Amino acid sequence: MKSKNQKKKPKQKNKIIPFVVIIIFIILGMIGIGLDEPSQILNQATQICLSCIGIG
Amino acid sequence: MDVMRKWVQVLFFFMTNGYWKFPYTRAIYKGPLKVICSPGLNCYSCPASTTYCPIGSLQQLFAGIRISIETGQFFIGFYVIGTMGVIGGFVGRMVCGWACPFGLFQELIHKIPSPKFGIWPVLRYFKYGLLIFMVVLLPLFAVDEFGTGEPWFCKYFCPAGTLEAGIPMIILQPALRMNLGWIFALKVFILVFFIVWAVLSSRPFCRTACPLGAFYALFSRVKLVRLNLDLNLCTHCQACHDVCPMGVRFNESPDDLECISCLACTKACKANAINLEIGGIPIVNQPKRPELKGV
């Protein structure tokens, strides 16, 4: 019985880890939203940065 | 499944490049959708692009980090890294196989009849160098007298940017041709180099030089959607080796950093030993080999 439980644990851990990772990055993204980063990204992405594409 | 993957690739191509008024406006899309992250490498200076490129945005934020901190704005890149991390946590490099326009482009030109060659496995580590140096360190630390860095990867290397943005923009705006110099020549050379290589080898840019693929590869062991190898069913026939477009030997390394979950190996595996699973739950229940039934 004990060995069965020991076998199950790594599998359960493998199932949980992706969710933990996703939650951590969601929190990171929320911090970015809190800092108003999306507006800065929108500002960057709506202008052609010529030097960024090798022109000029 | 391969047909479905092609349709998904085409769908993502049009979702991330959905602005088709550009031949008339001769300008890029400037709407609110550009706050959404493109999962694949898709230059946001592309006239048709409707989303932002995470690698381009990250470099821009790193390049301007000093000024942003000085002005009290703290645009450090949390939103971009958070978005990339969520995508990586869900599907990892599956993006490369299913949602990247430049990956689709390489797949299509690889169909051109020619002698086909493998890629030296050591070259795969080059993309991690590009991610660390050209995307992170150089934009952060190679700054001018005003404390502003440059998007090094976009400016000096990215062939996707040259194909999707550089060349279309000089066609749409002929006045820009006056500004062309050695940087553009270098970028065109890099683009031509990868196009020729993609005809001869499968997905050379993804395998050797894509920093976004390198980032997603970090999630290979912790992503939600992944391929699982059933060691009890695997016969080690190596059928999965021959079909993998990324040169992965799936039965030897099921969590390989290069795996793009294109499912070519699941089709090739006669023993049905490879399954796609979400959070540890198989979503394609394949029949087991008859001789192993009831074992």
Closest residue in chain A to residue B42, using alpha carbons only: A45
Same domain, residue pair B152 and B202: yes
Same domain, residue pair B150 and B60: yes
Which of these ranges, B19-23, B194-198, B202-206, has the smallest mean pLDDT? B19-23
Mean pLDDT of chain A: 82
Element (H, E) at B229: strand B225-229
Reported confidence tier of residue B72, pLDDT bands at 50, 70, 90: confident
Q: Are strands B225-229 and B281-282 parallel, antiparallel or unpaired?
A: unpaired
Same domain, residue pair B230 and B195: no
Which of these ranges, B257-261, B267-271, B279-283, has the smallest mean pLDDT? B279-283
Q: B214 pLDDT exceeds 50?
A: yes
pTM equals 0.91
Examine the predicted complex and report whether its ipTM is higher than 0.90: no
- Using the 3D structure, point to which of B168, B187, B217 is the last residue of a domain: B217
**Chain B residues within an 8 Å CB radius of A30:** 82
Q: B25 pLDDT exceeds 80?
A: yes
Asked, for residue B294, whether it belongs to a domain, the answer is: no
**Chain A residues within an 8 Å CB radius of B30:** 46
Quote the minimal CA–CA distance from A2 to chain B in Å: 22
Asked, for residue B290, whether it belongs to a domain, the answer is: no
The rounded distance, in Å, linking the Cα atoms of B269 and B146 is 57
- The distance from CA A11 to its chain's CA centroid, rounded to whole angstroms, is 23
How many distinct structural domains can be found in chain B? 2
Reported confidence tier of residue A14, pLDDT bands at 50, 70, 90: confident
Matching residue, tokens 């797949």: B107
- Residue in A18, A33, A55 nearest the CB of B79: A33
Is B276 within 8 Å of B263 (Cβ atoms)? yes
Residue B192, both tokens: 């031509």
What pLDDT was estimated at residue A55? Answer: 82
Asked, for residue B292, whether it belongs to a domain, the answer is: no
Q: B290 pLDDT exceeds 80?
A: no
Residue B123, both tokens: 């070259």
Contacts of residue A56, defined as CB under 8 A and 6 or more positions apart, other chains included, come to A50, B176, B179, B181
Q: B87 pLDDT exceeds 70?
A: yes
Quote the minimal CA–CA distance from A36 to chain B in Å: 8
Interface of B with A in 125-154 (CB under 8 A): 150-151, 154
Residue B68, both tokens: 């942003």
Quote the minimal CA–CA distance from A1 to chain B in Å: 21
Reported confidence tier of residue B226, pLDDT bands at 50, 70, 90: very high
More confident residue, B20 or A12: B20
Strands (E), B21-160: none
Contacts of residue B294, defined as CB under 8 A and 6 or more positions apart, other chains included, come to none
What pLDDT was estimated at residue B281? Answer: 86
Same domain, residue pair B201 and B232: no
> Quick one: average pLDDT of A26-30?
97
CB atoms within 10 A of CB B174: 9
The rounded distance, in Å, linking the Cα atoms of B2 and B19 is 27
- By residue range, what is the domain housing residue B79? 2-217
3-state secondary structure (DSSP) of residue B276: strand
**Chain A residues within an 8 Å CB radius of B82:** 25-32
